[in-house]
Amino acid sequence: MSPRRSRRRKLPVEPVEVNIESLSHEGRGVTRIDGKVAFVEGALAGETVRARYIQKRGQFDVLATEEVLVASKDRVTSDCVVSGVCGGCSLQHLDPGQQLLMKQSMLLEHLQHSAGLNTDAFELMPMLTADTSHYRRKARLAVRYVQKKGGALVGFREKHSSFITVMDDCKVLVAEVASLIPTLKELISNLSSAADIPQIEVAAGEIEAAASAPLQVALVFRHLTPLEPADLDALLAFAAQHQLHCYLQPAGPDSVHRVYPQQGQDRLEYFLPAFDLRLQFHPMDFTQVNGPINRQIVSRVIDLMAVQPGQKVLDLFCGLGNFTLPLARQGCQVTGVEGSDAMVKRGYENGALNGLSNMAFYCADLSKPFVDEAWAQSQYHKLLLDPPRSGALEVVQQIQKLAPEQIVYVSCNPATLARDSAELLAQGYRLKSAGVMDMFPHTNHVESMAVFDRQAS
């Protein structure tokens, strides 16, 4: 790389006054400065703001709002004192209802652009919402010991920075976790190995089915060097005092092990009371971050699929059985497929826990051809897809092998959902309905759902 290319572009020092034309898919204000596209963080459509440059790129620039001169009617005052700095959220300044409308517009735009689908071609599902504060049950908190800051910092990283936000509270983490931040900072500051703890993985599970019940918190401490006995004793005492599950991670994910409590199974759990189910999980397992919204999504999926006893249903990317078990509760025969042996094991554990035997779990890499897999030798009445952000293109390209009458697709990325929708249309399916769910309030992440029917040939 030449010296010229390696140098960072020099940023203008003086802030600029700009008028915001629209919102980008990331929830940033869009404007033009001397004809060049600029994205302005913390700005809303229709506003006039004073902003400073934080990045200059060849195609576009990025700025951050310093002062709102003319405010949008959709702007709200956040009760989070670090919302302008912390990278954990990006939309605290936008009314929650408008956040969801923005995400719905994003989904519709992707469907129109990638699949040629206008809103008159399918039914728009009602948006699913819940409390937008203290909803987040899983997170990775960064940790750094900073002497000049008075000790350890614990929290999310700042926007566009490796620095950790100086914070004592969080408005999106569940209250049981948010309230621990000050005491975690004090705990780590007093450890001899404080400089060798870079992160804490957080997971929270339910103690009982009632929505208002307190949560059980598990903390996984990553440590780069062996802990001194006194430090381990301090962590154990902290866990006992706050009734936490405490885990250590001295190396990779496989090294995670629980040190408190020492008895009992190392599992958290959550409930799906509409289906009389409880599902157990390890704190490092993937589970949905928003429990109330997950309950609503599961109920919607079950209603939409309307499975009958005796039908065969395929649940791809099934995880630990979040949809598999509720489907099995309807009396159909369900096959769940997941890329992780650990999740397959967890699916069977949860089936046994709930007295369900009308299901089978398989481990398979769904990014590869599956025609020779044992589970793919059956014909299925209905198919559920819940893939990662990369989507399920490889699956839908092989959909004729499975030939389901109906497909319900749950997505955390509207771009890949729209891409895969175009492929399903080409394979002879029709988009019946689509909509969004507020899984990630105050962020630009979009959870959506689409239902496809096979058209008669």
Taking only the tens place, the pLDDT of each residue in 380-433 is: 999 999 999 999 999 999 999 999 999 999 999 999 999 999 999 999 999 999
Q: Is 153 exposed, middle or buried (0-12, 13-18, 19+ CB in 10 A)?
A: buried
85-to-45, 64, 192 alpha-carbon distances in Å: 21, 10, 30
Nearest Cα neighbor of 287 from 271, 274, 273, 305 is 271
- Ramachandran angles phi, psi of 88, nearest 5°: -70, -25
Nearest to 447 by CA among 438, 455, 43, 456: 438
| CA 305/CA 407 separation, integer angstroms | 8
Domain with CATH 3.40.50.150 in the chain: 107-130+289-454
In the annotation, is 318 catalytic? no
Please list the residue range(s) of the chain that carry CATH number 2.40.50.140: 3-75
**What's this model's pTM, rounded to 2 decimal places?**
0.94
pLDDT at 160: 85
Secondary element (H or E) of residue 105: helix 96-115
**pLDDT recorded at residue 237:** 98
Residue extent(s) of CATH 2.40.50.1070 domains in the chain: 138-269
Question: What are the Cα distances from residue 148, in Å, to 153, 166, 192, 404?
Answer: 11, 12, 17, 61
- The matching CATH number, chosen from 3.40.30.10, 3.40.50.150, 3.90.110.10, 3.40.50.300, for 107-130+289-454 is 3.40.50.150
- The separation between CA 253 and the C-alpha centre of its own chain, rounded to angstroms, equals 19
Query: In which order are the strands placed within the sheet that holds 199-206?
Result: 151-155, 138-146, 199-206, 215-222, 245-249, 257-260
Could you tell me whether strands 406-411 and 447-454 are parallel, antiparallel, or unpaired per DSSP bridges?
antiparallel
Of 80, 86, 332, 412, the catalytic one is 412
Q: Cα-flanking dihedrals φ and ψ of residue 177, to 5°?
A: -90, -45
Output the pLDDT for position 8. Answer: 61
Chunked into runs of 10 residues, the chain (457 residues) has average pLDDT values of 53 94 94 96 97 93 96 96 94 97 97 95 97 98 92 95 95 98 97 97 96 94 97 98 98 96 95 98 97 98 96 98 98 97 97 98 96 94 98 96 96 98 97 98 97 87
pLDDT value for 271? 98
239-259 pLDDT, tens digit each = 999 999 999 999 999 999 999
Identify the DSSP state of 136: B
Task: Return d(Cα 270, Cα 286) in angstroms, integer.
Answer: 13
User: In this structure, what token pair is assigned to residue 213?
Assistant: 């019940």
Residue 395: predicted pLDDT: 97
> What CATH number has the domain spanning 3-75?
2.40.50.140
pLDDT score at 211: 86
Cα 370 to Cα 455: distance, rounded to the nearest angstrom: 24
Tell me which residue has tokens 């735009």: 109
Assigned CATH class of 138-269: mainly beta
